[in-house]
Structure 1
Amino acid sequence: MDPELVAVLAVILAAMAFDYTNGFHDAANAIATSVSTRALTPRVALAMAAVGNFVGAHLGGEVAKTVGDGLVKLPLGIPSLGVVFAGVVGAIIWNLITWYYGLPSSSSHALFGGLVGATLFAAGGTVQWNTILSKVLIPMVLSPVVGLMLGFAMMVAIMWTFRRGHPGKLNRGFRHAQTVSAAAMSIGHGMQDAAKTMGIIVLALYTGGFQDNATHIPEWVYWSSAAVLAAGTYAGGWRIIRTLGRKIIDLGPAEGFAAETVASSVLYFNALVLHAPISTTHTITSAIMGVGATKRLSAVRWNVAGNIVIAWITTFPASALIACVVYFMVRPLFG
């Protein structure tokens, strides 16, 4: 078999493995609030999230192009495919570590960190720091801040608007509304996270010489990335679902609706307007914190939030370091 084809297939398989871990690692992003408020049963919520991810993948083409062509530049050939392979494997390992400890870290930043870490040691590879700064690092800081502020503002608006409503009727109404907000969150997750896998596959196809540019996305890439992410989502990531849904604050239906609505809006804006591959994890977690802070600051379990923030900060460098180690291990195979 052609060596270039073997190398490309290895990267694609690694990308699909990442896609699957992304699904069960980040399933909580879309459904944790709906499950914790009992708006949806766990399996119904997972099924809806899987469908939403599948739909959203077909709307995330611009994000995929940013990942495939905007973050790193690699010379064509098998050695560069080893770089991409190492970056993806580094992200997978970090995903599994944080999943084991129930920490909702960012799969996106794990992938970006892995790519950057492996590229730094590759002959002829260059990291496009301007794009990393504008599309990754600045959004990494701003999206949680925006999510926190908008979550707080949204919850205040809901509390003021429905201040004279009957609590029982309001809870039933917001549980129904959460079906819509959770579906919107699921589609936003697909727009962001399936698109990142698509970008990696396209980068592998281009680097391996199987297509002429790093921005064209074949239709089979859309379908395969969406299907694997949906399968991983349906498998569920219960450790992280418990962290997001129960350990940060005690969520009610109104709080869950507010957090999901804010987070999905931020995801849509970044995917469709800015074409920026932001973290769904950072966005929904910060929105939950903002919503919880409207009760009282002590309503947010800041010790849990602090552990999550530490995971956010360490994800990029940790996955980069892991990818470096993986690269030196697999480099002889891609020589």
Structure 2
Amino acid sequence: MDVSFAGFCQQVFANPVLMVTVVLTLGVIFVNGWTDAPNAIATCIATRCLKVRTAIMMSAVFNFLGVLVMTHINSAVASTISNMVDFGGQTDEALIALCAALFSIVVYSVAASVFGIPTSESHSLIAGLTGAAIAIHNGVGGVNFDEWVKVLYGLVLSLALGFFMGWVICKIITIFCAAMDRRKTNGFFTTAQIFGAAFMSFMHGAQDGQKFIGVLFLGVAFCNGQSSVEGMLIPVWLMLLCSVVMGVGTSVGGEKIIKSVGMDMVKLEKFQGFSADLAGAVCLLLSSVFGIPVSTTHTKTSAIMGVGAVKRLSAINFGVVKDMMLTWIFTFPGCGLISFVVAKIFITIF
């Protein structure tokens, strides 16, 4: 299979379906940077460590680096996404189904962002791919449950480990700094939280960027008549392309989501914001190394809840938490159903 950039450009202009796949994939990456990346900097802005535009531009840079560097070092997450479903031996139909899956993600994510609700593009992607695979096979025969089970691990890991690590890190800092003047520690934690937000942004790019790189690489394989990318190395130009698009998407911002995550859910001080950022980033790092696709939204918000619980459970605005949880619960059937229907329509038309 020709995976050179020149060969890719020729294929895109020669195959309209691949062109649509590429545009949709890059569109989803852009939307992910726009709607999901703000979670990484929400706490930093809420505690007034950085101004909104400064934080957004910093996050854009580190999202770019996260996609590029982590995929080059360890592409386990991208491999998990690529092998999660089997679209069958008919690669033309498989490419059409992949377009349907991506289309469902764009529709669902944009609709949710209008209301300022943090969605999980990770789960939207997984649901979209699964719905399209079911449409092609007329059943669950195309779903690789050995890979799909990692999604369930990731769901538990992002919620439980995020909350636990947020609580532990914040508790340790609270005990260590108990005898100190809070005002004197603010300078240190301002700098520390900027570092934490940058680390969180880097790991967001590392996790979410890999997921969509895997999808785009799968589309290129379908165009070349191959039904799998197992054992193939991801080309550097593909990493760079996805990195740039996610960075640009992040630079657009996401002020409503920043407000929901960083201000409405829990009122944070600087040391608490740093604890949440560090806890979330460490969870994402562990998940990326072991190839487990997790939701950065789940991870960061559960870390914030863990931090809030150190003070008291009533410090958490459970009304906001409930809205987020309902959105996540509806993501799998919602995106899956849209993808299933659109895949059937696309296959019939094309």
What band does the TM-score fall into relative to the shorter chain? Answer: over 0.9
Per the TM alignment, residue 62 of structure 1 is displaced from its structure 2 partner at its CA by: 2.1
Per the TM alignment, residue 73 of structure 1 is displaced from its structure 2 partner at its CA by: 4.3
Q: Which of 173, 176, 195 pairs up with 1:180?
A: 195
Q: Any runs of at least 4 consecutive aligned residues in structure 1 with deviations exceeding 4 A, and if so which?
A: 1-4, 210-213
Matches within 5 A, 1:24-43: 24-43=34-53
Matched with 1:158 is 173
Q: Cα distance 1:212–1:130, how it changes in 2: closer, same or farther (>3 A)?
A: closer
Helix, strand or coil: the match of 2:266? coil
Matched with 2:55 is 45
Helix, strand or coil: the match of 1:65? helix
Q: Which of 100, 108, 115 pairs up with 2:114?
A: 100
Structure 1: how far apart are the matches of 2:228 and 2:161?
A: 35
Structure 2: how far apart are the matches of 1:283 and 1:174?
A: 21
Helix, strand or coil: the match of 2:311? coil
Matches within 5 A, 1:1-335: 5-58=15-68, 59-60=70-71, 61-123=75-137, 126-133=142-149, 135-209=150-224, 214=229, 215-272=232-289, 274-334=290-350
Higher mean C-alpha displacement, 164-173 vs 235-244: 164-173
Q: Which runs of 5+ in 2 are unaligned?
A: 1-9
1:327 alignment partner AA: A
1:43 alignment partner AA: R
Say how many residue pairs are matched: 332
Per the TM alignment, residue 78 of structure 1 is displaced from its structure 2 partner at its CA by: 1.5
Structure 2: how far apart are the matches of 1:48 and 1:154?
A: 24
Contact conserved, 1:26 with 1:107, CA < 8 A, in 2? yes
Contact conserved, 2:65 with 2:205, CA < 8 A, in 1? yes
Per the TM alignment, residue 121 of structure 1 is displaced from its structure 2 partner at its CA by: 1.0
Contact conserved, 1:4 with 1:77, CA < 8 A, in 2? no
Contact conserved, 2:84 with 2:143, CA < 8 A, in 1? no
2:63 alignment partner AA: N
2:99 alignment partner AA: F
Matched with 2:4 is none
Structure 2: how far apart are the matches of 1:65 and 1:55?
A: 19
Q: Deviation per CA, 1:163-214, whole angstroms, max 9, x where unpaired?
A: 0111111122111101111111011001011111101111101111177951
Structure 2: how far apart are the matches of 1:153 and 1:44?
A: 29
Structure 1: how far apart are the matches of 2:265 and 2:153?
A: 25
Structure 2: how far apart are the matches of 1:15 and 1:108?
A: 13
Contact conserved, 1:36 with 1:246, CA < 8 A, in 2? yes
Structure 1: how far apart are the matches of 2:175 and 2:234?
A: 46
2:191 alignment partner AA: H
Contact conserved, 1:108 with 1:279, CA < 8 A, in 2? yes
1:28 alignment partner AA: P
Structure 2: how far apart are the matches of 1:5 and 1:217?
A: 21
What is the alpha-carbon root mean square deviation over aligned residues? 1.8
**TM-score, L = length of structure 1:** 0.94
Contact conserved, 1:24 with 1:235, CA < 8 A, in 2? yes
Per the TM alignment, residue 102 of structure 1 is displaced from its structure 2 partner at its CA by: 1.5
**TM-score, L = length of structure 2:** 0.91
**Percent identity for Structure 1 against Structure 2:** 33
2:146 alignment partner AA: N
Q: Which runs of 5+ in 1 are unaligned?
A: none
Per the TM alignment, residue 77 of structure 1 is displaced from its structure 2 partner at its CA by: 2.1
